Structure 1
Amino acid sequence: MQFPTPTQPPPPFSPVIDPNLMPPQDRTTNERIHALEREVEHLKAQKRPNTAPDEGSSKHRKKSKKPSPYILRLINGLSSKQIEVRKSLMRKIKYELRQLTGRTDKEDTDNDSDNSDTSFHSPRPHLAFDFRANVDDSVNEKVIDRAVHFVWTEQQDPKSKTFSLPHPDVQFTREDLHEFAKTTFRSWKRNYREESNPEVAKKKAASGSKVRQDMRKKELKANRLKAIPQYRKMHKRNPVFILETDWMSDEISGPDTEDEEEKRSHRRRLVQAARLGSHQQDDPVWEKIRPAFQANELIDIKDELDRINAAKKKAKKKQVRASVPRINLGNTHNRPPTGKIWPFMVSQDWYDTHIEGNAELEDEMEFYTNDPTGFGEVS
């Protein structure tokens, strides 16, 4: 067999070890040591952090933090002097906005009457906010800018004759004043929505009433908890589990109605039952409205806790702040109890009348199987 003739000569033979990698034979020992030292220094330099990075590199460059344009915008972290100046500036901004817009809100006027002598500029034509638009709308910005201008001009220089802030050394910015003015605008806008939309006003009133009721229930629960230790000593049982906030009585100042005559009649009954004197006719009085689901045993336990607390207050030598009278006119509400409940707590008559036969309500009410030891034994 004949092999083809190669067109190119074969490559030259390469040795197993590259001669360039072999140490030269004519190097002295000192040269080799110096070469190794230079290599070590090079490696050390690579491991050292770069203390002077290239100005063009942004990897290690720290971003400069832009200073905040506000000083008194948020109350958190402010000193007592700063808080005092902040309140004063907010009142002055509100006063200027009232002057510009012609608002005569009794609440605002009463709160800020101390500012009436602090403005020395001449009367200004009335402007108007557009409460249908946002605070940043050009119409609203115009009013805000004008009010900020007046306050800033009068109060930025402590040496000025118009300066009237309580602490001249407390600094503030024009941006702070803008935020105060925007806060006032948003508050007035909420009032505008309530005045122009009865549904919004009704929802706000209902929400406020709910908050007040929850606070009163929590206070009632806290007071009854204080009486638990003495109750346990007297009866050798612990009723703490009955003191759920939602199971406390309602305490209302008036009925939920739009009938003004009914409200006045209810108020007269409360005042008469509380035996208020002629100088106490405007004092607050609340009606206690108990949950109708309560069995007699549950009512008796709560009443005794209240008596224990009343006796403790009476025994105290130091003057205790007079509490609002709570009057029981015999009214109840029929809301079912929330959460899982023990059988002894529920009146059988109430259950038969309001729950039994109503599949939805029967499913909502959840009972423990057995009463706690020491409870549910009263017939």
Structure 2
Amino acid sequence: MGPPHRPDFVNAEAWQAMDATTWLKLANIATTSSRALETQYHDPGRNGPHERMLYPSRQYNQRENDRIPIDPSLQMQGQAVGQYRMRGSGASDSSARTSSSSAFTDQSARAARFETLIFGVMDTAQNKILSQNSDIYSRLTLIEQGKENDVIAHPRRGGYAHRGGLASRRRVAEHLLMLPPDDDDIEDLKGPPSALSDGAKAAKRSLQQKVCSKFRWICGIAKSEPWPVTREERVNDETGEVYYTPNFAGDATHAENQKIFAVVADLVSEELVDMNDRPDALQNPNYYWDKATLIELAKTTFQGFKRDWVTRVDAEKAKKKAAHQRANRWTQRHKEKAKRLLSMVPDYIDKHSVNPKVVLCEEHMSDEASGPEDEEVELKDEWKTRMGQEIGITTPAALAKIKFLEIIEPRWRSQEVYSTFTMLSSIFHELYDLWWNSLTAKEREGMAFVRVKNTNRLTEILLMMALFNFRIDANWWAENGEKGEYRHILLDWYTHGDPEGFGEEEEGEGGNEDDNHDT
């Protein structure tokens, strides 16, 4: 059995000197390795090293990776020339095949060297391809990192459109993103305070103050100002730039908040690049911090601001809810009071021959409060004690069984007296007395509240329904009617006159002054 087909890259003399094992190993392994290398990094069967090895005379387009067919005669001529060059000048197949036993050892050594050479060439080619692949991967990584580190608009100057802006940021990043040296004396400020020395704690507090200051600065919130409850757009009047607004409804992972953290970290980094610009607490080179440290401190600052914001929002919500509930209670009391007084109209007519129904309106009833005007100024227990003193009840045991309603007097109500029965407060008071006297003892015991009047608790709240003229206080009208802040609400006041039997339409003048204005 003769030797297998000799590869074109092996000299004929060396090929004849090899044994059968080496022939097979060299012919099969070299081809298999080349084919595997081609499969890993190239498209098989097109322009890889395996195809070039088997078909060296072909012409290849390096840019297109496409084979270009050539004339068969030229292909045979190229193969012959290649074989001639590989065998050596003047060597023939017949002469190369003659060998002796004494030269067999030298031929085997040469074959081994050729085998080593071939595998070395293959390893070199593979390493070159791997190196190229690594270089390409590194470039792609840099491009992707460049896309992630987008330019963030400066809160005062706008985007980094000026010359050198991006280069400045790059230098800052390279300076701050260096890994800390492997030294036991270095203290990483990202660590918990319990793991830091006193000096490192002071340095971290100094950084925190810088971050907090920049955070407020880009958001346009002074140190003494509370964070706005709503997220309305706010603009710097001097520069026209829109301030950043944290999304306190979200957490630190929210995109808007992370953008603020990055801006704050960049600004603090720029400010502290020069050691001469750093405060004393940050002068020690053993205290390590970087941009990641600043971002973590910005998150901590955000959490503190969020707690203040949540407290304020909850307080506003609680205050609005309490005011809404109080308004509902007062409205219901207006309705109940008007219903009671209307039930006494026939008795009032029998007594005074005047029908008061025309002036009885739910909206015109006085407010009655079951607590203090402002619990931050006066606690409810203090208010209850004061109400008890107004009616002569001072013992704790008696106060515990009673609930009070404090009559609130509107400032716009007239106190002018035309007669003993025409002042509206007196009318309401008399109607209330008639209603109270109509109750049985058991019904009176079931009443939950005791009404307290003459406490000088006043209100500026205006009515949407205009009053009759005799109900309007002349002094109050002189201050507010035509030029005050309420004038747009009072356009139809003093335009409805007085009903029959009241005010200017009353028969006769005079009467007694009455201080009991309890409606």
TM exceeding 0.5? no
Larger Rg: 2
Asked which structure has the greater RCO (Cα within 8 Å, sep 6+), the reply is 1
TM-score class, shorter-chain normalisation, is 0.3 to 0.5
User: What is the TM-score of this pair, normalised by structure 1?
Assistant: 0.44
TM-score by length of 2: 0.33
